Amino acid sequence: MSNIRDRGVIDITLEEDGKYILIIADDMEWGFDKRQNHVRLLQDKINDYLSYIGSGQAAQAKPGLRPVIRVLAKYAYSQYAIDYLERVKAFVKQKDDICDIEWTHSAEDGPFEDGWSDDFVYDATKIYPRLKKNWADNPLESVAMTPPDASSPNYPDQMVMIRWMDSYIGMFVQDMGNVLTYITYDLLPEDTDVMELQKKAFENLARDITYRSAKSKEPGICGILAGGDFEAESLCINSIWEQVSDELNDDVLICVPTKDIVFYTAAGDSGRVKKMFRMAKDMYEQNQKETPYLIFSNDVFLFDRKTKTLSISKQHSFMKVSRFW
């Protein structure tokens, strides 16, 4: 039998009290670490059912019967799940009212011993930035930075985002102790100022994450270590690069080929710069083949010691370095 993961098929159908019931067989849990993926799959499945109804196929199959999409769940719903389904129900009602939306759990049915009680509590002191390269052709236009309509069924899936250096996306995660969860708009307190959230996240990063410098196998080329979670985000902390530039007595060139690898060296030492570019290119290409999810960027960053500013260098590219020089 098909289920929530199967696209383009109706899992179960039946007639009940003059209605044409279209059942979604949902066998997934609503645990905190699973719920965003669960919502994505459920939204896709519901969209398939709405297309089936909207195309007239449901009316042809069962003339005169009111279509009903019913989610038949194996596991009890969390409040997050119920809020999502209520939004879907209201959305369909307000748009075309082509069907009803039902689910097999209501407030009168609980509590459930196998259910999941949402335990997310927003804590501004545990929010950190998460940088991601925007690979779109027009990065300034490809990502909406404004909050979505809270009545939209997709609302829970919309991550809070900012632009960073124009061609990067800044997102936010909260440290939940054993997992980092991305912050979506539905998790934010009302009237949260995203720019203030960004400032707080950067401050938390500088306060809580220990960054240290480590020498590489190549003399004069160093790396930044932070335990594997926030190496790339060292780019957000100017004080790190101020200290490095003072120690080198020079501007700093920085390569971040993967999320957990940050190389740097003195900008004025052309020999070391070429070696660092070679190391960054090798790391980038290796991960591009084996672990592409770790890829961060092929940009080269420049920290200017005089202006104390970080920018993307327009003069350098580690991807263009030749294997021999």
246-254: which pairs have CB atoms within 8 A and are 24 or more residues apart?
246/305, 250/305, 251/302, 251/303, 251/304, 251/305, 252/302, 252/303, 252/305, 253/300, 253/301, 253/302, 253/313, 253/316, 254/300, 254/301, 254/302, 254/303, 254/310
What is the pLDDT at residue 108? Answer: 52
What is the pLDDT at residue 146? Answer: 66
Note whether 228 and 242 are within 8 A (CB): no
Inside any domain, residue 179: yes
250 shares its domain with 156? no
Give the pairing of strands 168-175 and 300-304: unpaired
Q: Which of 260, 265, 253, 262 is nearest to 280 (CA)?
A: 262
98 shares its domain with 134? no
In the predicted structure, residue 296 carries a pLDDT above the cut 70: yes
Rg value, the chain, Cα: 25
More confident site: 177 or 91: 91
Tally of domains in the chain: 3
Q: Cβ-count burial of 88 within 10 angstroms (0-12 exposed, 13-18 middle, 19+ buried)?
A: buried
Q: Which of 85, 76, 69 is nearest to 12 (CA)?
A: 69
Q: What's the CA gap between 101 and 108, in Å, rounded?
A: 18
289 shares its domain with 313? yes
What is the pLDDT at residue 115? Answer: 43
Q: For the chain, what's the residue count?
A: 325
In the predicted structure, residue 280 carries a pLDDT above the cut 90: yes
82 shares its domain with 130? no
196 shares its domain with 228? no
Q: Which of 175, 190, 208 is the last residue of a domain?
A: 208
What is the pLDDT at residue 159? Answer: 85
Neighbours of 208 (CB within 10 A): 12
85 shares its domain with 171? no
Residue 250: which region, alpha, beta or left (left: phi > 0; alpha: psi -120 to 50)?
Answer: beta
In the predicted structure, residue 251 carries a pLDDT above the cut 50: yes
What is the pLDDT at residue 37? Answer: 86
Inside any domain, residue 148: yes
Q: Which of 132, 158, 128, 137 is nearest to 146 (CA)?
A: 158
User: Measured between alpha carbons, how far apart are the two ends of the chain, in Å?
Assistant: 61
Q: Which of 265, 261, 289, 292 is nearest to 276 (CA)?
A: 265
Residue % of the chain over a pLDDT of 90: 65
Give the lowest-confidence range in 81-85, 119-123, 171-175.
119-123
More confident site: 156 or 306: 306
Q: pLDDT grade, residue 152 (50/70/90)?
A: low
**Amino acid letter for position 215:** K
Q: How far is CA 98 from the centre of its chain?
A: 33
Averaged pLDDT, 55-67: 95
Q: Which of 68, 103, 138 is the last residue of a domain?
A: 103
70 shares its domain with 87? yes
Inside any domain, residue 199: yes
More confident site: 137 or 289: 289
Inside any domain, residue 53: yes
222 shares its domain with 314? yes
196 shares its domain with 232? no
Q: Which of 229, 30, 43 is nearest to 119 (CA)?
A: 30
Q: What's the CA gap between 244 and 254, in Å, rounded?
A: 11
229 shares its domain with 305? yes
Helices (H), ranges, 168-318: 194-208, 238-248, 270-290
Instruction: State pLDDT tens for residues 184-217.
Output: 888 888 788 999 999 999 999 999 999 999 999 9
Q: Which of 208, 238, 272 is the last residue of a domain?
A: 208
Instruction: State pLDDT tens for residues 158-193.
Output: 889 998 998 999 999 999 777 788 898 888 887 889
In the predicted structure, residue 74 carries a pLDDT above the cut 90: no
Note whether 26 and 72 are within 8 A (CB): yes
316 shares its domain with 216? yes
Inside any domain, residue 4: no
Q: Which of 62, 57, 71, 84 is nearest to 27 (CA)?
A: 71
Instruction: State pLDDT tens for residues 20-39.
Output: 999 999 999 887 767 878 98
What is the pLDDT at residue 294? Answer: 92
Give the pairing of strands 127-133 and 66-73: unpaired
Inside any domain, residue 6: no
In the predicted structure, residue 153 carries a pLDDT above the cut 70: no
Inside any domain, residue 111: no
What is the pLDDT at residue 100? Answer: 95
303 contacts: CB under 8 Å, gap ≥ 6: 241, 242, 244, 245, 251, 252, 254, 309, 310
In the predicted structure, residue 118 carries a pLDDT above the cut 60: no
What Cα–Cα distance (Å) separates residue 114 from each residue in 76, 77, 235, 241? Answer: 7, 10, 43, 50
Note whether 231 and 262 are within 8 A (CB): yes
Residues of the domain holding 43: 12-103
313 shares its domain with 233? yes
Inside any domain, residue 264: yes
Give the lowest-confidence range in 12-16, 53-57, 72-76.
72-76
Mean pLDDT of the chain: 88
